[in-house]
Structure 1
């Protein structure tokens, strides 16, 4: 668990981005940006998959930043099908790096669940095209990589892709259609659905294992 959770506003293209920052015990070793599922379908930063990824990051000494997308909580604006959300998150990363330069200089993890994975992959593509610093680890759960795209997406070679065998929101076959042409390994959790009900401990263990390699 986080030693404390701080509420903080960053500025997106249409106004406030309402964020929760989960702080680890001791001196932070870096930070993680963890993106939530589709806000139109009830997704928020407090989603259990998001908080599971965040908790694993905090346990590795990272500050976990959990933003609410447009129109959720106190975040300004309305759902923009991934376009504005991607630009908002780009602005958030820039502002976090300016406000917490020592933390931003440490390890950096990009995580996402469902809709959040699409935003994360588009961000990765922007950073790679601009030759900017890339995350040290990318963690995608219930990936919706083929959805909500308005910019080129790039799949990191060493990304951790975790998917439920029985996902009825983003079928496993859809993820494999994305992963197969680029030879991207996918970790399949047997009998898990989209929200990993009853399988969150397995998800946390997989994330922890990936973070130990940083």
Structure 2
């Protein structure tokens, strides 16, 4: 349990049986009380009007405090708040690549969203960090013997397991390191992103090209032998 209010929001330390609307946060009262917004409100949105200019067009909760007779309408009525989608499509998508593509697709469709900003946030907080982190993990990984399954702390100079003489294979594979490379390239080329991200991705590609050999035309093998790095 937290020792102060706000430590953990799922464990309330203060419960009030009576709620006084005049004592709650001011933002909580900025909720419209009509079942249908006026046409003038939508016309003002097209004009890019300041919120203060449309404040008088939309009745809110703070305007009916202290009024004896009042009613609240809902623009989207429902019989049960529990109705609706129980599992989001984000959770149903199988891979992270699918999630990123659908996120950018949705950003392209919403006029109020700047898809380029979404792409920058995804690149800076996830994809580029993942590429760099996976490459670092690949270069410092441990190897595994294909016969006995042992994982020596250091790669034997002979290139084979010192216990059973089995071949040593990597535990982190190239496909896992480069899995976000194509989508990152597509994002920086498609959206008007700052040159920093282009240059950052170019440096990552340079490090990858110096670490791995060029892939053959046929599908790359899933298991890499230590001899391939000789």
Q: TM-score, normalised by structure 2?
A: 0.19
Larger radius of gyration: 2
The TM-score normalised by the length of structure 1 is 0.20
Between the two structures, name the one with larger relative contact order (CA 8 Å, sep ≥ 6): 1
Say which structure is richer in strand: 1
Which has more helix, going by share of residues?
A: 2
